Structure 1
Amino acid sequence: MKLSKEEIKFIDTYLESNEVIYSDIRQEMVDHIASAVEEKMELEREDFYHAFKSYMLVHKKDILKNNKKRWSFSWEAICQFLLFLVKPYMVIFGVLLFFFFKNVNVNLYFSEDFTLKNLFFVLVLTAILFQSGYIHFYLKKRFYTVEKTAVILAIIYYGHLFFFPVFGTEQVSYWTLTVFSFLFFGYVVFFIQELIKFHKHRFNYI
């Protein structure tokens, strides 16, 4: 017995009210719950409301627990990013960055008023503002596949705060410049690729 659009929407609204905030995760859960409720209605000759209520009474805790595990912290995104960084074209890009920073002292182009640390802060802040604006003003919905990469950007940001000199008079080593330039620009390319993959499946979500 297939559920109506109104009944599927009811399940979606129910999950959203229980803090399943990401539309793509919610869609997976809706599909799973709808299939289970349809089977329950068929086998036990119940109407939608009673079948849904009895199913959620048993499975709600496990379903919502799974949701919290997925959006609290994303090791999956970090692993995907690390695998992306060792792709041949990224390795070549990293080598080119290394030789560039080793042979060009970019510290000479910065002063105490605007340091390399300030530049990286501006770059990371720009990326954060772009992602936030893209989600809130363009997508207007939250998607796990888009937001899961934010943890990578946070690691890069806090890493640059720790490894870059506190005072503008100190020079940044070419190793530090290579690593953080590689991570930041690698993240930008990785995020764009994730967006492209996301948009191929975007309209499958409610």
Structure 2
Amino acid sequence: MFKLTPQNIQFIDNYFKNSEVIYYDIRMEILDHVATALEHTMQAENLDFYDAFKSYMVVNKKEILKGNKLWSVYSKDTILSFLKFLLHPIMIFIGILFYVFFDNINVTYYFSESFSINNLFFTIILSIALFQIFYFYIYLKERLYVIEKAGGLLGLLYYAQIFFFPGYSSKSPSNLVMAIFFYLLFAYLVYFIIQILKFNQKNKHLFQ
């Protein structure tokens, strides 16, 4: 049975990285699929690695890269998963606590026109986004689709905030709106952490 060398594996990885397969976890799935196919081709046709690779890519490159372009951080499955998470009894209870808190405490009293609660919400979103950028692009030095599609939810919260809860507005939102948005932000943080933990547990081998 023909087995690819570490140098062969690195060659395939570099090839798809240069072909703009930007997500590391997706690239690893493609690499595993291609490596298996190449080992079979090398044995069946008695070819060396480079000839087998060229032969395989002539036939399959377009389809592989076409599939890569279909990935989007705004995943329908992730959105539905998050909505299901929001309906968990514990999360619903926490949402009620948020409403009770904002309905009984005038939090706007602690803010000013120069820095309103609207600005606070925007600042929190921005801080989370900057942390994610630092952690995944600078610390890990890799982009992970499984993680980024969960991060796409933060983008949706940002767009919703612009419409319902604009940072530039001096008008304070209602207690219900504040409760909903801070609940969604809290739920996002919990959901995102859970996704990271699940991913790390399942894919420890990616960063060994």
| TM-score interval (norm. to shorter) | over 0.9
1:167 and 2:202 correspond:
no
**Normalized against structure 1, the TM-score is what?**
0.92
Structure 2 vs 1, CA of residues 154 and 72 (structure 1 numbering), >3 Å: closer, same or farther? Answer: closer
| 1:5-43 deviation line (CA, Å, top 9, x unaligned) | 111111111110100111111000000001111111121
Residue equivalent to 1:126: 127
**Normalized against structure 2, the TM-score is what?**
0.91
Residue equivalent to 1:80: 81
> Matched residues in 1 for 2:172 and 2:133: separation?
32
Paired residues of 1:98 and 1:174 also in contact (CA < 8 A): yes
Alpha-carbon offset, residue 117 of structure 1: 0.9
Q: Quick one: percent identity of the two aligned structures?
A: 45
Residue equivalent to 2:141: 140
Amino acid at match of 2:159: Y
Paired residues of 2:151 and 2:192 also in contact (CA < 8 A): no
Which runs of 5 or more structure 1 residues have no equivalent in the other structure? none
Residue equivalent to 1:197: 198
1:183 and 2:180 correspond:
no
Amino acid at match of 1:167: S
Amino acid at match of 1:123: I
- Alignment RMSD, CA only? 1.6
Give runs of ≥4 in structure 1 deviating > 6 Å. none
Q: Which moved further from structure 2: 11-20 or 53-62?
A: 53-62
> Matched residues in 2 for 1:137 and 1:46: separation?
40
Paired residues of 1:41 and 1:48 also in contact (CA < 8 A): yes
Alpha-carbon offset, residue 202 of structure 1: 4.0
> Matched residues in 2 for 1:148 and 1:95: separation?
28
| 1:119-177 deviation line (CA, Å, top 9, x unaligned) | 10110011011101111232122211222222211111121111126532x23111111
Which runs of 5 or more structure 2 residues have no equivalent in the other structure? none
> Matched residues in 1 for 2:72 and 2:44: separation?
34
Paired residues of 1:112 and 1:167 also in contact (CA < 8 A): no
Alpha-carbon offset, residue 111 of structure 1: 2.0
Amino acid at match of 2:41: K
Residue equivalent to 2:25: 24
Amino acid at match of 1:124: I
Residue equivalent to 1:36: 37
